[in-house]
A and B are shown apart, each in its own frame.
Chain A
Amino acid sequence: MHAPLQTAYRKTFALVVLVALLAVIALAAISLGSISIAPSRVIDVLLGVDGAKQLDFARDALVITQIRIPRLLLGAVVGAGLAVAGAVMQGLFRNPLADPGLIGVSSGAGFAAAVAIVLGGQIVSGAAANFPFIFLPVAAFCGALGSTLMLYVVASRGGRTSMAVMLLAGIAFGALAGAGIGWLSYISDDRQLRDLTFWSMGGLGGATWGKVGIVLPMILPSLIAMPFLAHGLNAMALGEAEAFHLGVNVQRLKSAAILLVSIAVGASVACSGMIGFVGIIVPHLLRLSVGANYRFLLPASALLGATLLVGADIIARTIVAPSELPIGIITATIGAPFFIWLLLRRGPELAV
Chain B
Amino acid sequence: MKAISLSAVLALLCLALTPFAASAEPGNSSGAGTAQASVKPRIVAAGGVVTEIVYALGHSDLLVGVDTTSLFPESALKEKANVGYVRALSSEGLLSLNPSMIVAIESAGPPDVLKTVEGAGVEIVRVPEVSTPAGITEKIKEIAGLVGDVDKGAALAADTEKQFKSVDRLREKIHKPRRALFILSFLNGRATVGGEGTSADGIIALAGLQNSASMLKGWKPISDEALLEVAPDVIIAMNHGGPQAVTVDSILANPAFAATPAGKTKSILVFDGGYLLGFGPRTPDAARDLLLAAYPEIAKAEQGSDHK
Cβ of B51 < 8 Å from any Cβ of A?
Answer: no
> How far is it, in angstroms, between the C-alpha of A108 and the C-alpha of B270 when the chains are bound?
43
B111 and A133 contact, CB distance less than 8 A: yes
**Inter-chain contacts of B95 with A (CB < 8 A):** 34-35, 59, 63, 67
B64 to chain A, nearest CB (A): 9
Q: Which of B102-110, B165-173, B286-294, B300-308 contacts A (4 or more CB under 8 A)?
A: B102-110
Cβ of B247 < 8 Å from any Cβ of A?
Answer: no
A67 and B116 contact, CB distance less than 8 A: yes
Name the residue among B112, B120, B218 with the largest chain A CB count within 10 angstroms.
B112
**Inter-chain contacts of A211 with B (CB < 8 A):** 112
A116 to chain B, nearest CB (A): 14
Partner of B85, one of A54, A62, A323: A323
Instruction: Say yes or no: A322-B25 contact (C-beta < 8 A), given A56-B30, A58-B30, A130-B111.
Output: no
A38 and B218 contact, CB distance less than 8 A: no
A36 and B17 contact, CB distance less than 8 A: yes
B218 and A322 contact, CB distance less than 8 A: no
Instruction: Say yes or no: A55-B19 contact (C-beta < 8 A), given A130-B111, A205-B113, A323-B82.
Output: yes
B90 and A323 contact, CB distance less than 8 A: yes
Interface of A is mostly: loop
A55 and B22 contact, CB distance less than 8 A: yes
Closest to A208 in B: B112
User: From residue 160 to 203 of chain A, which have CB atoms closer than 8 A to chain B?
Assistant: 186-191, 194-195, 198, 203
> How far is it, in angstroms, between the C-alpha of A54 and the C-alpha of B68 when the chains are bound?
34
Cβ of B23 < 8 Å from any Cβ of A?
Answer: yes
Q: Mark A225-246, 1 if CB is under 8 A from B, else 0.
A: 0000000000000000000000
Instruction: Say yes or no: A58-B31 contact (C-beta < 8 A), given A63-B95, A205-B110, A322-B97.
Output: yes
A133 and B92 contact, CB distance less than 8 A: no
Cβ of B234 < 8 Å from any Cβ of A?
Answer: no
**Inter-chain contacts of B112 with A (CB < 8 A):** 133, 206-208, 210-211
Cβ of B246 < 8 Å from any Cβ of A?
Answer: no
Cβ of A123 < 8 Å from any Cβ of B?
Answer: no
> How far is it, in angstroms, between the C-alpha of A34 and the C-alpha of B218 when the chains are bound?
37
| Chain A residues within 8 Å of B, Cβ to Cβ | 33-38, 54-60, 62-63, 66-68, 129-130, 133, 186-191, 194-195, 198, 203, 205-208, 210-211, 317, 320-324, 326
Q: Which 7 A-B pairs have the closest CB atoms?
A: A323-B84, A322-B93, A59-B30, A206-B112, A34-B96, A206-B110, A324-B90
Q: A59-B120, A205-B88, A324-B84 are in contact. List 8 more A-B contacts (CB 8 A).
A: A33-B96, A62-B119, A130-B107, A189-B198, A194-B85, A206-B116, A317-B92, A322-B92
| Chain B residues within 8 Å of A, Cβ to Cβ | 17-20, 22-23, 25, 28-31, 65, 68, 81-85, 87-97, 106-107, 109-113, 115-116, 119-121, 197-198, 217-220
